[in-house]
């Protein structure tokens, strides 16, 4: 039976993350939104804190994610749920700064999903970004055109990757590439590429609508050479299995992206309630919404939507912690939270009027930041397609 009761250790770690968000992230949030591409040096002070949390399996989005949880009977609320709770709190502070935390890149979650135990020991504490998207495709991860060819004891990688979050500042990049184009999607593997490897360059940084504190890079791989053992998981091409191994990455990362949307949406709700209260609009939980001020009724609807997104994300991480297949639930949580995040933040701007549109509060910034959370790690439409396939038991070829 599912049990979402939070152990004290998870609550303590979440409180610690909230404190960091309140005391470090919020004060510099607007600063690095305006200073796009400037490295947030204040985050360097968090390095030791993050490392300690990672060692305890409680990192914001690190490479442990429950793999270290000891097997035991009954309910387990461990690393995946802890990562979700922590990322909710840090994104309550600032989404872009969360994505800029050293050693907490999305590539770390890919390492957690695919790496062997020996590889996790080697790569578990690097700062890894994740490079999937290419100029020729976005959400269709099976359309990877980057290649990896084995040359003796080294892999030689070629291709171009775009929209790589933390691609400039990270120390490593998890690159998706095909080891055999004739074998189709089954030959798509992920590789850990050190940024100092020969043949890898950062071509440019993107200017963006939101999450400006986080660098988003285009990366070129030109005969990039990495050691043979830097391929994550097995190098064997299993046509029957397809590329489920690398796709398992998303079962880890999608609930975390949902958590990001949940965090920034909660921030917007709290700020909106404060603004409404100062304007004389009070929310009454003991009275029907239709009898209250229109703004109060709208707030209650947004809050209910937020709660449903939160519960879906919690369920997806609980399933991961308890070793239950969660691909459906991960996509459901990402789809719901992505949509709710943009809806809540934009509605908060609207309900706050001219104040919401100004730069005095952070509402307009949160609205800009939240949009990416409904796009990366699979768009809203892709998530709905995955959910439909799972519910109808249809393959990708049968349901496009």
Active site residues: 377
Measure the N-to-C terminal CA separation of the chain; round to a whole number of Å. Answer: 34
Q: Residue 219: beta bridge partners? A: 161, 202
Q: Please classify residue 290 by burial: count the beta carbons closer than 10 Å to its beta carbon, then call 0-12 exposed, 13-18 middle and 19+ buried.
A: exposed
CA 123 to chain centre: 19
Please give the Cα distance from 386 to 389 (Å, whole number): 5
Please give the Cα distance from 297 to 266 (Å, whole number): 17
* CB-side neighbour CA atoms (13 Å) of 384: 8
Cβ atoms within 10 Å of 49's Cβ, excluding its own: 15
Backbone angles phi, psi at 58, to 5 degrees: -125, 25
In angstroms, what CA-CA distances link 382 with 100, 169, 208, 387? 26, 29, 22, 9
Residue 271 contacts residue 362 (beta carbons within 8 Å): yes
Element (H, E) at 183: none
């Amino acid at each position: 039976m599912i049990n979402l009761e939070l152990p004290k250790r998870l609550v303590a770690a979440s409180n610690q993350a909230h404190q960091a968000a309140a005391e470090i992230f919020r004060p510099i949030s607007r600063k690095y939104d305006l200073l796009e591409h400037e490295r947030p040096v204040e985050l360097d002070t968090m390095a030791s804190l993050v490392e300690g949390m990672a060692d305890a399996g409680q990192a914001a989005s690190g490479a442990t994610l429950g793999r270290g949880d000891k097997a035991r009977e009954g309910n387990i609320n461990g690393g995946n749920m802890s990562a979700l709770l922590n990322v909710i709190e840090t994104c309550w502070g600032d989404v872009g700064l969360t994505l800029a935390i050293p050693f907490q890149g999305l590539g770390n979650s890919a390492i957690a999903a695919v790496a062997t135990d020996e590889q996790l020991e080697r790569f578990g504490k690097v700062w890894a970004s994740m490079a999937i998207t290419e100029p020729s495709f976005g959400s269709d991860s099976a359309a990877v055109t980057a290649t990896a060819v084995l040359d003796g004891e080294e892999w030689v990688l070629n291709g171009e990757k775009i929209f790589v979050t933390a691609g400039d500042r990270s120390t490593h990049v998890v690159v998706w590439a095909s080891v055999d184009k004739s074998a189709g999607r089954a030959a798509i593997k992920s590789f850990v590429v050190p940024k100092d490897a020969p043949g890898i360059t950062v071509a440019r940084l993107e200017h963006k609508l939101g999450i400006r504190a986080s660098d988003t890079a285009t990366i070129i791989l030109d005969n990039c050479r990495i050691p043979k053992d830097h391929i994550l998981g097995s190098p064997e091409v299993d046509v029957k299995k397809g590329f489920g191994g690398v796709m398992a990455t998303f079962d880890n990362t999608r609930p975390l992206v949902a958590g990001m949307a949940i965090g920034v949406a909660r921030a917007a709700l709290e700020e909106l309630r404060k603004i409404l209260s100062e304007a004389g609009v009070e929310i009454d939980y003991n009275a029907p919404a239709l009898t209250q001020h229109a703004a109060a009724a709208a707030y209650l609807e947004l809050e209910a939507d937020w709660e449903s997104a939160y519960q879906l994300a919690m369920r997806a991480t609980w399933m991961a912690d308890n070793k239950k297949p969660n691909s459906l639930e991960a996509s459901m949580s990402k789809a719901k939270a992505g949509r709710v995040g943009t809806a809540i933040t934009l509605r908060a701007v609207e309900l706050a009027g001219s104040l919401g549109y100004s730069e005095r509060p952070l509402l307009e910034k949160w609205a800009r930041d939240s949009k990416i959370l409904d796009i990366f790690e699979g768009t809203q439409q892709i998530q709905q397609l995955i959910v439909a396939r799972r519910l109808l038991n249809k393959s990708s070829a049968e349901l496009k």
